[in-house]
Copies of this chain bind each other. A is one copy, B any other.
């Protein structure tokens, strides 16, 4: 199954997606409202990095498991800079995102990591194309 969220109003592109020559049929999903994508960029206190990574991973696992509107949570660190963390977050819609912020596991994560996070930048985005296998 391939999922493509496209936010171009392009008949040419839609046609390209639908006429996939691959044996796996591509699927175009135009959602209304579109999914919400947020990017978080954090700097973590290096001496608390292991604890931070555990708290984050626990929160991610719980959110994906328990919240229907939390679609993807991808956490990475910048290569050779393990205390620079980036999280790519994909929610079904604005309501799912707001519900996530009020969840017990998210609040627990915020409490646990307050003293570990040296800086936090939240980047709101506008999706162009979100395509996955």
> What residues of chain A have their CB less than 8 Å away from a CB belonging to chain B?
2, 4, 6, 8, 10, 12-13, 16-17, 20-22, 24, 26, 37, 39, 53-54, 56-58, 60-66, 70-79, 82, 85-86, 88, 90, 123-133
Say how far A31's CB is from chain B's closest CB, in angstroms. 14
Partner of A2, one of B39, B64, B132: B64
B26, B37, B131, B132: which contacts A76 (Cβ < 8 A)? B37
Partner of A64, one of B10, B26, B37, B90: B26
Across-interface contacts of A8 in B (CB, < 8 A): 53-54, 57
Are A77 and B22 within 8 A (Cβ)? no
Taking A71-B132, A71-B133, A88-B88 as contacts, is the C-beta distance between A61 and B126 under 8 angstroms? no
Query: Smallest CB–CB gap between A112 and chain B, Å?
Result: 14
CB within 8 Å for A75 and B129 given contacts A26-B61, A54-B13, A61-B16: yes
Contact check, A126 vs B82: say whether CB atoms are below 8 A apart: yes
Nearest 8 A/B pairs, CB to CB = A76-B125, A79-B124, A75-B128, A72-B132, A64-B131, A57-B129, A88-B88, A20-B65
Contact yes or no, A131 B53, CB < 8 A = no
